[in-house]
Structures are given as C-alpha cells and as structure tokens.
Structure 1
Amino acid sequence: MRLNSSIKISRALMSAAVKDGWISGSLESVPKETAEAVVIGAGVVGVAVARELAAKGGREVLVVESAPTFGTGSSSRNSEVIHAGIYYPPNSLKARLCVRGRHLLYDYCRAHGIPHKQIGKLIVATRPSEVPKLSELMSRGVENGVEGLRMMDGEEAMRVEPQLYCTKALLSPVSGIIDSHSLMLSLLGEAESHGAIFSYNTSVIGGRYEGGRLQLYVCESESLRNWDRASPLKPDLILSPRIVVNSAGLGALPLAKRIHGLDDGIVPTPYFARGCYFTLSNVRSPPFQHLIYPLPEDGGLGVHVTLDLNGQVKFGPDVEWIDGVDEVSNWLNLFDYSVGGDGANRFYPEIRKYYPDLRDGSLEAGYAGIRPKLCGKQQIPSDFVVQGEKLHGVRGLVNLFGIESPGLTASMAIAEHVVPQLSHHFN
C-alpha cells in the first residue's frame, strides 16, 4: 500500500461526514491513503477472497481485521464440518457454492496437506412422522448434485452405528471434517506470497460514497474499544480503495449501514443466533464413527454429533436468539461466548432422541459461536447475499451478508464467485 497525501477529499464530503454526528471535527487533517483492493475481515471467507484477488487479480490487496489475528470469529467457532450441500434450496447460492466449495476444499486439502477426513454423515429420523422430511432432504440433495446419497432403514443404520437409535437415516458419504485453523493459515500464507498485506487490530467504522469514489473510515481497534460511545469518533485514517469486499462476518451488515451513499433499503436486517457446544467425557472410545445429525430445526441444523480429527466428540450447537447487539460489539466481536454448565440440561433430552445411552454427567461445557443471520425466529431460512455494484450502485464494492453455515465449506467457492465481479476494475 502507498501513502498518498495528495488525495483531495471534497469539503462537501467532509462536512457531510461531520453532520452525521458520530465522526468528530474536520476530516481534512486525517491522513489519507490509497489502496487497490481492500478486504474487510480476515475470517475464512475474507482470507479466501484475499488469496483469490492477489493470485488472480494480480493487484495489491490489503486485508483489514479488527482482531489481533485471523479467524477469531465465526470461522473458529463452528462445527468444522465439510458439508455436502443437502439442506439448501436448489439453485440457491448456498446450494451451488456449498457443492462447488466442497470439491475445491477436498482438492485443496489433499494438495496442501490440510488435516481433514471424509467420515460421512447420517441424518436421522427418530420417529415415523419425521420420515417424509428425511425423504425431502434426499430429493433436495440429489437435485443439488450431492453424490452418493442413500436412504437406510433403521436396522441397517443401527448396525453401522450400534449406539444410534433411529427409524430411518440418510447417508451422506461425502461429508467430512477439517482443521479450519490449518486451512486458514494455508490460505493466508498463499495470499501473502502473492503480495497481500494483513493489518490486524484495525477497524473499518464506516465510510462514504460520493462522486464515484468510496472512502473508508479506519481506526485502531483499541481506539474503538476505549470509545465512550457518547462523544463523536474520529477516524485515524481515510482509505481510498479501487475495490472493497465487505467480508466482515458478524459486522458486515452494521458496517454497510455506516457507508453513507449506500442505499439503506438494500441492507438487510441483521439477526444473531448464539449456539453452544458441549463435549463428551467419561468414555473410552467415541460412540460414533460418522457425523450424526437430527432433522433441521428453526435457526439451525439441530444439536448434532461432530467428531474432531483427534476423535473427541462434541454436541451442538443449540439456538439462542440474541437481541440488541450494538455496532461496536459487532465490529470488535464483543459477544458473550461463555458456556454455562447448566446449559447441558437442555442438551440431554435432545441428544437422547438418537443416542439413548448418553449418561448423566457426561457432557462438559465446550465453546460457543455466533451465527450472522438474515432471518429471525420462525422465518424462512435465507440464502447467502452477495451484493455487487449492479445492485447497490457503489462502484467497486461487494458486500457479503449472511455468510453462516455452510460458509466454511463454501469459502473458496465464494471467493471464486466474487472476484470475477470485480475484474473489470483491474483493466
């Protein structure tokens, strides 16, 4: 990146920013810098996009991340599952990018030695009334191009997994697990090898689009953390990029709301769902060899069984809707990630529907994650939203909204989908 003190920000833009009330004083004294490409957020999707931009765009890429390192948000607080692409409506972005991303991910893991394992998944119906829904999932998965799906009666499934109870099961042999940290570390290394620069502890707090130019207001995360939230806030830097990918995860929607000149009407309402995980203790060996999933529930895929690459069994996540999240908490990921031991009481009856031999006292608090959603409680599940300039009119900006599960699986496909939308800015 190069410092360019000769950038001239119009006085109209300056005064408009001050009138917004959340930025203090004149911005004329704020340092200005140019950039060719800026990616906001260093989660797995942001890192994958940076790698794709740097390698195929052939341009300088700056990744701005509010945390001290990469992947500290949703990217490191999930089930680490490689999804097949079963659950999502045909022709949706989630369906297409999950299936494509799974192929890219397995190929990448094999080529780069990323720890992973294709262990397969059983989605189970535990009573006869659930069987039609299981059949619907199989039909949807086949339509989405998921390979190898097979329906199993309860007796066959329980022979395969003796600790399992079910009436019927859908086998997905292409599902798997992955070491997400190793994946992100490898993608980040490749991005840096192609010239990408990562700036940590750096927060984008808003911006303005005027005269065909997008300005980003940037400050040190520590300044934002110490802000009293009452007095106006002044950025430490105004960044003037040619292209911007808003991949801020939990903070993507609040950030878009702070880009003045971007139509508020096209920015969806954010919803947040907290999910806890509990680990299985006091067992000599894992009770299951496959991932075990119940049928999906409102807001998630149900409290399911996940195995990590060390054989540890974990259950989760549940769904707890969160209200009243402020912008700073979004930008700095100041969510409550604590897991109370008493929460296990909610898990036991759900797990025993398919694992009846689960013993009392065998669940220990694990970790929690937050899912950035575009739909609330009892609403129809939403698709990924990839907003380019044809939709919002802001030149060089792509917003990534609602990148929850299967975001990890789809990460490389999302990057593959986004970068061509920006290629004309490199000509």
Structure 2
Amino acid sequence: MTENVDCVIIGAGVVGLACGAALAAAGHEVLVLEAAKCIGGETSSRNSEVIHAGIYYDAGSLKARLCRSGRDRLYAYCADRSIPHRRLGKLIVAESKAQEAKLRDIDAAAQANSVHNLEWISANDIAQMEPLIQGHAALFSPSTGIVDSHALMLALEGDLSTMGGMVVLAAPVVGGAVNDRGLVLRIGGNEPMTLHARTVINAAGLKAQSVALSISGVPAATIPPLHYAIGHYYRMGGRTPFSHLVYPVPEDGGLGVHLTLDLGGQAKFGPDVRWIDTVDYAFDDSQREAFVAAIRRYYPALDAERLTADYTGIRPKLSGPGMPAADFRVDDVRVHGVTGLINLFGIESPGLTASLAIGDLVASLVKR
C-alpha cells in the first residue's frame, strides 16, 4: 500500500529540519525521513559549531547570501528559543608581513558580501586581546559566534512537531521514481513502506547524491560529483586561556586549523583537511605533528601534551583537491526538470549558520 504525503524531507540534519519547519509553517503536511537512529548525527553535529559572519565567500553566491541572512536569523532564533549560543568574535591572524595581503583580500571579500564591521588589529592589539596569540596583524569579526548545534536541532524538531510535522528515524530512502503526480519513494528499515509525495526535498547531506541517483527519472547529468574531506579535531585539556575564536588565513579546502571554544569555555582545534574516498569517521592520529605545527604558527606556546584526539567530521564538497571552492547547490525543476523535487548538494560550511535561510529559500521555491 502506498501512503500519500504532501511534502517529504530526506535527511534530519539541521538543514533538513530547518526546511521541514519552514514548510510546516507555510501550511504543508511535512514528513522528515532520517536513515540513522538519531537526528543530526553526521555533518550537523561533527563541525566547529561556529556562527559565521559571511566573510570569505564569492560575492553574490548562495553561500554569501544565505550565510549573511542565516546568521541574523540564527542569532534571533537562538535568543527567542533560549538556545545556548555566544557572540564571541573571531580573530583572523596573519602570521607574517607576507600574509597581510591575504588579510586585505579577506577584508575586500567581506565588504563585497556586505559585512562591513571587520576591524584591523595590530600585533600589539592582538597581544592585548589574546596574550598567547602571535601574529603580524589580524582582522577581528565581532559578528562571529558559537551555538549548541544539538539544542538548535531539537528546537527545530519541536517547531516541526508543534505545527503537525513528524520526524521518522531509521527510515532510509532506498529508491524511488518520478511520476506525473510527484515522486514515489521506497523506504527501507524495520518497517518498509512506499510513499507518494507531491514535494520532495533531498537534504541528505553526505548521501544527497546517492539518494538523487536512486530516484528513476532524475537526470544523472544534473547530479554533481561528490568529494569527501575529513577534518580532525583535538581538544585542549585544562583551563582555557582564550576568550575569542582564532583562525589562520584560509587554506586549500578549508579555513585552516583554527581555535574555537565550546559553550563551556573549553578550547578545541581543527579541522584539518584530508581527502578520502569513503565515509569513515575513524580518528587518524598519524599527522599529529603537522597539526601541532599548524597551531604553533599562531599559538607558539602550545603544550602538545594537553591535546587529546576528540572527533572527526566529513564535509560533502562539490570541489576536490586544488579546485576552486564550489557554491551551495539548491536545484529545483529549472535544473533537473522534475516538478516537485529540490536537491540540496554541497551543503558544507557555512551550512549550520545558513540553515534557517536555506529553509526559507526552499519554502519560497516550493510556493513558486
């Protein structure tokens, strides 16, 4: 027997839940399907939990636009729902005179993205703000902060439930087909079922491409290649001597091994960037020396004995090693020709920051 549902979201990470809450608020009957046994167990919870200001991205890109609007929406949402968060501010540190030009490029990118509150910080000012951080110069971003990503997802799930929506766990999409009334999805798990949906939002993150490929009628040529980049995080034991986030200038594939703080005030460092072929969250400590060296470029007094392996996260990237960074993909009928389907591809950083804005965008596309 086939059940009929107005709108199905595939993936209960922060973006899937934000899309579900936005669609439910617009009056849709919403069912969120999650292959795992918990919400947000992959990309949404294996990251730095940073609220980004919207500095680095290409002007006019989805990343730039959605990060900037998502940042403001997220701070307001967290304040309204009493979700733990903190606007700490971030230093982007140039370790030498040679890197100052890169800071100027970052400042120019921020201006192009309507982020006008960056402040130039001298070496003396760095020492005043963070005495243990060493650098030639820095940019200070007062709009950068941190958030409890799990509390955020629980709040979104609560909003969805309040508006009549539902999250179903351990319900992987194993295939489907396009028909003249929407899409038919085959759901696996302990209670297999078939669902007919007028609208399907593919927010499956690391599995978004494989989900799209499993649906007959979705042109394979419209599904971009996927590249996995794993990042490792180390936690620093003992009392934390820092009060701000600290980033080096960006590197290929990421923002560099940076210092962040959790809401309890403990310091952690990461992520690095290592390209992998399969999803495997095992922690590989073999490059610890390189990791420590990267941190000591801006924190030379680091006692490496205080670092302990913490966790890893994998980013669903649309560009591989040495390639220019790719934008988010929010593909509707204009891209793939399938009415009622929206594919979200490459939703990596700043996806957490942009999540509410992505939900608003998806809701507006469904309405149109």
Q: Same fold (TM over 0.5)?
A: yes
| Aligned positions of 1:259-270 closer than 5 A | 259-270=215-226
CA contact (8 A) 2:21 2:160 kept: yes
CA contact (8 A) 2:182 2:199 kept: no
Q: Does 1:156 align with 2:112?
A: no
Shift of the alpha carbon at 1:210? 3.3
CA contact (8 A) 2:260 2:267 kept: yes
Q: Distance in 1 between matches of 2:92 and 2:241?
A: 16
Secondary structure of 1:383's counterpart equals coil
Secondary structure of 1:181's counterpart equals helix
Q: Distance in 2 between matches of 1:275 and 1:60?
A: 37
Q: Which residue of 1 aligns with 2:336?
A: 392
Q: Does 1:140 align with 2:109?
A: yes
1:286 partner letter = T
Return the match for 1:352 from 291, 296, 300.
Answer: 296
2:64 partner letter = A
Shift of the alpha carbon at 1:107? 0.5
Q: Does 1:49 align with 2:19?
A: yes
2:264 partner letter = N
| Aligned positions of 1:17-28 closer than 5 A | none
Q: Which residue of 2 aligns with 1:106?
A: 75
Q: Distance in 1 between matches of 2:282 and 2:334?
A: 41
Secondary structure of 2:327's counterpart equals coil
Q: Distance in 2 between matches of 1:66 and 1:160?
A: 45
Q: Does 1:85 align with 2:79?
A: no
Q: Does 1:196 align with 2:165?
A: yes
| Aligned positions of 1:18-417 closer than 5 A | 31-56=1-26, 58-220=27-189, 236-281=192-237, 283=238, 285-323=239-277, 325=278, 335-417=279-361
CA contact (8 A) 1:65 1:202 kept: yes
User: Structure 2: where are the runs of 5+ without partners?
Assistant: none
CA contact (8 A) 1:341 1:364 kept: no
Secondary structure of 1:88's counterpart equals coil
Shift of the alpha carbon at 1:216? 1.2
CA contact (8 A) 1:344 1:363 kept: no
1:327-355 CA distances to partner (integer Å, 9 max, x unpaired)?
xxxxxxxx322224444222110000000
Q: Distance in 2 between matches of 1:381 and 1:274?
A: 16
Percent identity at matched positions?
47
Secondary structure of 1:76's counterpart equals coil
User: Structure 1: where are the runs of 5+ without partners?
Assistant: 1-30, 224-235, 326-334
1:306 partner letter = T
How well do the aligned residues superpose, as a CA RMSD in angstroms?
1.3
Q: Distance in 2 between matches of 1:183 and 1:213?
A: 31
Q: Distance in 2 between matches of 1:215 and 1:189?
A: 27
CA contact (8 A) 2:33 2:167 kept: yes
Shift of the alpha carbon at 1:112? 0.9
Shift of the alpha carbon at 1:212? 5.0
2:38 partner letter = T
Secondary structure of 2:44's counterpart equals helix
Secondary structure of 1:202's counterpart equals coil
1:246 partner letter = N
Aligned residues: 368
1:93 partner letter = L
2:213 partner letter = K
1:74 partner letter = T
2:357 partner letter = A
CA contact (8 A) 1:124 1:170 kept: yes
CA contact (8 A) 1:71 1:181 kept: yes
1:252-298 CA distances to partner (integer Å, 9 max, x unpaired)?
011111212111111100110011100012x3x31221100001111
Q: Distance in 1 between matches of 2:84 and 2:181?
A: 45
Q: Distance in 2 between matches of 1:79 and 1:62?
A: 28
Shift of the alpha carbon at 1:158? 1.8
CA contact (8 A) 1:212 1:394 kept: no
For residues 245 and 372 of structure 1, do their structure 2 counterparts lie closer, same or farther at Cα, with a shift above 3 Å needed? same
1:182-207 CA distances to partner (integer Å, 9 max, x unpaired)?
11101110110000011100000221
Shift of the alpha carbon at 1:64? 0.4
Q: Give the structure with higher Rg (CA).
A: 1
